[in-house]
């Protein structure tokens, strides 16, 4: 499975936005990263000034991971289903943050280890996944179903009017397979990618390090095939995120990336869909060491660094107000000509 001919943002619109910034009533470059973000949005939309966002959407893929049963998290596996229920009733962190930022929230159950049908389980691939230290996370059919589920969700959101997407993941233990994917694709050693995840102590950290080491040995056997890598060492949420991120780029829709799990999926998505990263912004630098490696590999500079490591899309949505500001500056701020405000003084001519 490969994504061919990923379009690129409009460089003419980006250049026009940069020129527009130079005419606004401020010193050139004085708004720093906001100017870069506004120009990126203009390029994604293909127009300058860019349109204000009308339907930003947070999409969180939820799944359980077999590796969590080995004790690599501070929380038991059943917490995933509990957090999904809380998110749907508005009490989870991502529910509150998305509402605060004016974004809609969608939770997609692709592999939560729970019974029962619900609207969020339309794309459910299985319950949980294999323990990646000793077995594949998914079967060949399941990994393809998960990638296609992510693609279908991206299409549905874009067709429904979403003009900015925030990608997130929810699931106990997901930083372990995410770290394995990052280590496999960046060539890092296991110890370089082991983080504290859900707030684990030293004993759990050592178990997690062993799990990542063993899973990485298996991952390196399929390193040249991104889909096989997801099958062996990822999970349904990471596979769905991969399809989601690649398809969003195919549909010319900008995406705010969340923390480690989304960063790991982005690495795989860039392998499947070269050039897709041009449609993504790294919203935040997670305190997970593997996230730094992933962003460096993708050549993406995070917008924020607030010490967050929650996941769920929380880090992604935290940067949404800044993107809104970046767009509105270009769309609403006056130019020197419109306002009558004198521009910067030209340097005097050189002495003859």
For the chain, which residues make up each domain, given as ranges? 11-50+329-339, 56-320
Residue 337: CA atoms inside 13 Å, Cβ hemisphere, count? 4
Domain 56-320 is in which class?
alpha beta
Cα gap 153→40, rounded to integer Å: 24
Tens digit of each residue's pLDDT (9 = 90 or more) over 16-47:
999 999 999 999 899 999 999 999 999 999 99
Nearest to 94 by CA among 339, 330, 281, 258: 258
Domain 11-50+329-339 is in which class?
mainly alpha
Q: Where are the alpha helices (DSSP H) in 5-139?
A: 11-23, 33-45, 79-88, 93-100
pLDDT less than 50: residues of the chain? none
Q: Which residues are catalytic?
A: 312
- For the entire predicted model, the pTM comes to 0.94
Phi (first) and psi of residue 167, to 5 degrees? -100, 135
Tens digit of each residue's pLDDT (9 = 90 or more) over 175-195:
999 999 999 999 999 999 998
């Amino acid at each position: 499975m490969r994504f061919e001919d990923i379009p690129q943002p409009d460089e003419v619109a980006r250049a026009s936005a940069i020129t527009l910034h130079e005419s606004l009533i401020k010193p050139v470059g004085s708004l720093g990263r906001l100017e870069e973000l506004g120009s990126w949005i203009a390029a994604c939309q293909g127009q300058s000034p860019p349109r204000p966002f009308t339907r930003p959407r947070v999409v969180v893929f939820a799944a359980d991971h077999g590796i969590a049963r080995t004790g690599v998290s501070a929380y038991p596996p059943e917490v995933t289903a509990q957090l999904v229920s809380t998110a749907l009733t508005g009490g989870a962190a991502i529910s509150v943050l998305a509402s605060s930022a004016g974004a809609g929230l969608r939770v997609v159950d692709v592999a939560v280890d729970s019974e029962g049908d619900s609207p969020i389980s339309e794309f459910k691939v299985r319950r949980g996944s294999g323990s990646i230290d000793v077995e594949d996370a998914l079967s060949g059919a399941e990994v393809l179903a998960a990638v296609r589920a992510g693609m279908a969700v991206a299409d549905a959101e874009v067709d429904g009017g979403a003009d900015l997407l925030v990608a997130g993941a929810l699931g106990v233990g997901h930083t372990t397979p995410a770290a394995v994917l990052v280590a496999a694709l960046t060539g890092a050693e296991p110890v370089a990618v082991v983080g504290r995840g859900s707030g684990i102590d030293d004993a759990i950290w050592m178990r997690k390090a062993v799990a990542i080491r063993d899973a990485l040995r298996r991952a390196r056997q399929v390193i040249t095939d991104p889909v096989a890598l997801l099958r062996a060492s990822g999970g349904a949420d990471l596979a769905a995120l991969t399809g989601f991120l690649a398809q969003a780029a195919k549909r010319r829709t900008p995406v705010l990336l969340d923390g480690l799990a989304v960063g790991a999926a982005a690495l795989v998505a860039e392998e499947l869909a070269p050039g897709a990263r041009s449609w993504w912004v790294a919203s935040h630098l997670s305190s997970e060491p593997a996230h730094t490696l992933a962003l460096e590999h993708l050549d993406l500079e995070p917008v924020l660094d607030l010490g967050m490591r929650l996941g769920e899309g929380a880090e992604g949505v935290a940067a949404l107000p800044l993107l809104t500001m970046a767009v509105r500056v270009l769309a609403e701020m006056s130019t020197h000509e419109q306002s009558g405000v004198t521009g910067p003084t030209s340097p005097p001519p050189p002495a003859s």
